[in-house]
Amino acid sequence: MEKSRGIIILDPGHGQFGNPHTTRAGFYEGTQNFILSSFLKAELESLGFDVRMTRNKVEDDPGLVERGSMSGELGAVMFLSIHSNAPGGNPSDERYPKVRGAETFYSVSDCEGNAPIARDLTDAVVRTMGTEDRGIKTRRYPDNESIDYYGVLRSAAASGCKRAFLIEHGFHTNPEDSAFLQDSDCLARLAKAEAEVIDKWF
């Protein structure tokens, strides 16, 4: 058997019924994240990575610390949390459904190392989805600038995995982004594009 290229933790955000798509009743971000992660798992395994998911079944919904900590506990080379976005503010605001675009958050535990990988991940998502580029970002904890705001990134870094990322795959509140995310063929293409980036960096 060929040697594994390393363990990658994929974290499909939320549980099965987390965050309804406002453009289609009965479709949920938490389920869509799981489908996309499953496609990405298969792509990465075909490239020789050992892939674990924080949710083995769509019904699973572990806590944020448990999700992030898996990466350090298993000695993963990368932790990747899979999400789609929704704007803050009032859903009845006419601008609400117009906000769209992809962005990647990366852990502040190694900004220099993580930023170029995040840039490539955002590029791949923007290109594949045909959506707007919202860039790459960090978000620091208000009372401690040296750690991440997002629980999964913070706990991944604390457990020893500094290559921690969270991708927002467009907005499930926007008709165009949401239509893409509801199509399994589109999610499979997205997984392939992201696997190519991971293949380049790891």
Q: Which residues bind Zn ion (CB under 5 A)?
A: 13, 83
Residue 148 beta carbon to Zn ion: minimum distance, rounded to whole angstroms: 16
Toward Zn ion, which CB reaches closer, 7 or 167?
A: 167
Query: Least separation, in Å, of the C-beta of 11 and Zn ion?
Result: 10
Cβ closer to Zn ion: 96 or 202?
A: 96
Separation of alpha carbons 22 and 75, rounded Å: 38
Q: Shortest Cβ distance from residue 147 to Zn ion (Å)?
A: 20
Smallest gap from residue 152 Cβ to Zn ion (A): 10
Between residues 77 and 166, which has the closer beta carbon with respect to Zn ion? 166
Name the residue with the smallest CB distance to Zn ion: 83
Note whether 9 and 54 are within 8 A (CB). yes
Kindly list the distances between the CA atom of residue 37 and the CA atoms of 25, 58, 69, 170, 189, in Å, as whole numbers in the listed order: 22, 11, 18, 15, 12
Nearer to Zn ion (CB atom), residue 13 or residue 68? 13
